[in-house]
Structure 1
Amino acid sequence: MTSLEKHLDERDLARSLRADVRDGLTATPKRLPPKWFYDARGSRLFEDITRLPEYYPTRTERLILTENAAEIARITDAKTLVELGSGSSEKTRLLLDAMLSRGTLGSFVPLDVSESALVEAVQSLGVAYPGLSISGVVGDLTRHLRHLPDGDNRVVAFLGGTIGNLVPEERTAFLTDLHAALHPGEWLLVGADQVKDPGTLVPAYDDAAGVTAEFNKNVLHVINRELRADFDPLAFEHAAVWDPDREWIEMRLRSVRDQTVQIKDLNLTVPFAAGEEMRTEVSAKFRRDGLTAELAASGFALRHWWTDPQGWFGVALAQAVQI
C-alpha cells in the first residue's frame, strides 16, 4: 500500500526560491542554499557524483550499512522507518531488508522536497516491497518534521552526510525540531562524514572530470529558468575550499570577470566583481565527540557508532531521551 502526503506545492517552492535568491544575492558575501541544485538535471548529476572515484562518502556509508544493518534492526526493533531527504532511497533498501527480516517493520515514510523524486521512489519501493505500507511526505526537513506520521518505535534515518549541509545553528534547530516530533525511546540514525586530510576531502568536491563543477553551476540554470535571470554559467568557475577552523568544505562559484546579472522576476540587478565568490554549499565534517555533544544538547543520547576501517565516515545511532 502506497500513499503521498503533500506539504509543499509548486507555489510554496516558488515563494521559497524567490526569498532565498533575493536574500542570498543581496547578502555580503553572496550565498545560495544547496537545495536549489536538485532539479531533475541536478539530481542526475549528483547521482553521477556518487559514482566518481574521488567521491568516497556514498560508497563508504553503504559499506557501513551493509555490514551493520542487521545489528541496527536488532537494536531498534523498528516498526516504522522514516527517511529524511530520501531521494531514490537506494541505501535505505539495506535497512528495509534487515528490518523486514527482523519481522518488526510495518511501514516506511520517506520525506523529500522533490515530489517527482519521491513519487518515483514510492512507486519503485511499492513494487519491491508489496507487503510494506509506504507513505511518502513531500516536505522540507527544516519546516515539516511535525507532519511526520505518528507511530510506535520509529527510526528516523538521515543519511549521506546531509546533516553537514546545515550550519551549526541550523543543525541545532533541526535536531530540536526532530526531538519534538519523536517520543522518548525512538531513534535517529545519522550518517556523518568525518574530519580527514584535505587531500582526500577537497577532490571529493572538485573531481577531475568536472562533474561537481557542472552540479554546482546547475543552481544558475535553475534561477535562469525559474526567475527569468540571465546568469552566464561560463562566467563562473567552481571552487571547493577547506575551512580548517570550521572544519567544513565550502563549494563556491567564482566570477571570472566583472559582470551584472539581471533577475527579471525579482526586479533585481546583481553586480559581481571579478574574483568575487558566492557560497553555494557547506559540507561540515564531524568528530565523534563533537557530534555526540550536538546530539546530547538536543535530547539525543548516542547509543552506537559504526565506522569504516579508515575512519572516514561514521554512522551514529542515537535515542531520543526525555529532557
Structure 2
Amino acid sequence: MDTLPLPAGGSAAAPPAPDELRELYSLMAAVRHLDVAAVAWQRQGIIPGYAPELGQEAAQVGSAYAVDTARDFVFPTYRETGVARAMGVNMVEYMSTHKATWHGGLYDPRKSRLAPIQAVVAGSVLHAVGWAHGQTLDGSDAVAMTYLGDGASSQGDVHEAMNFAALLKAPVVFFVQNNGWAISLSSERQVAGGSVAARGAGYGIPGVQVDGNDVLAVLGATRRAFAHCRTGNGPVIIEAMTYRRGPHSTSDDPGRYRSLDEEREGAGEDPLHRFRQQLLADGVADEGFFARTEASAVAEAEKIREGLQALGPRPGREMFDLVFQEATPTLQSQAASWREESEHV
C-alpha cells in the first residue's frame, strides 16, 4: 500500500548516484559484520546483552541515509545499530550502552542527532512527537524519525503518539520495522489487519508499506516521507517488511517458537546479497570493491571491539548524579551509604 502523495511538482527525489550506491553497500556490510561480532562478544562476556538486527540492514541503513544530521533528529529503540552506524555515530561510544558502561551511551545525542537507546517498548515514539511538535513551534523544517517494531505497534503509546502527531501536524516519520516477530509471537497473531501502515488511515496519516530488504526502496520511501513532513503536511508511517533472521536478543532462543525451515522460508533473499548482485549487474561495483569492503568491515568491527574492551568501569557514585536536578535528602542519604560501604569514605 502507498497513500503518501508525491512531493509538490509531482516527482520523487533523484536516484542515488554510483558513489552513493557503493556507500550504501559499504554501510550495510559494516553493519552486518558489527552485528554478527556483537553477538560473539556477548557470548565471550565482553558485553552482557545485545539485540541483533541480522537481516534488517537494508531497512536501517536505507532509512538512516535519508536523515539530514544538520537538522533532523532520530529516536531509536534498542535494535538500531545500523541506524547509528549510517548516521556516523562513534560506534565504540554507541556500543558502550550494551556494555552497561553508562546510562545512555557515551555518544553525545545533540551532536550525533541520535537520541539515547530506548529500552521501553514504544517509548521512543512519544519523545519523537514531542520533539517534532517543538520544531513546528519554532518554525523549523526539521523532521523527527522514530523507530518501532511490529510488536511495539500494539502498545497504547503508539496510538497516542500517532493521534497527537496527526492532530498537531507534527513532522515525524514513524518507521516500523516489521520483522515478522514480536519476540516469540508472529505478526499474524498480533497485528490486526495485517498492516501497521494501513492504520494510518484512521488518524489521517499517509502510510507506505515498502520492501524492507530493498535498500533503495527504503531510501526512496524515506526521502519522500521527509519531504512530505518538511513542507508542513504532518506525519508519515513507513512500514518496512523485513525479517528478523536471528533471536530477539542474546537471551532468546528462537528455536522454541519457530523451526529452521520456517526461518529459511520467511527470511527470503539476504538483503546484502541482493544489493550486491544488483550493483554487479548494473556495473556500479566489481569484485575488487566487494573484497575491499569486506576487509574494511572486518577491520572496523575489530577496532570497535578493542575500543570497547579498553573502556574502564564508570565510578559507581555516578548512579546518584543524574536522578534529580536537585538531590533529595533520601537520595543524598543513599549516596552517602553507598560511598561508605563501597569506597569506605
TM-score by shorter chain over 0.5: no
Q: Which has the larger radius of gyration?
A: 2
Structure number with the higher strand fraction is 1
Structure number with the higher helix fraction is 2
TM-score (norm 1): 0.31
TM-score (norm 2): 0.30
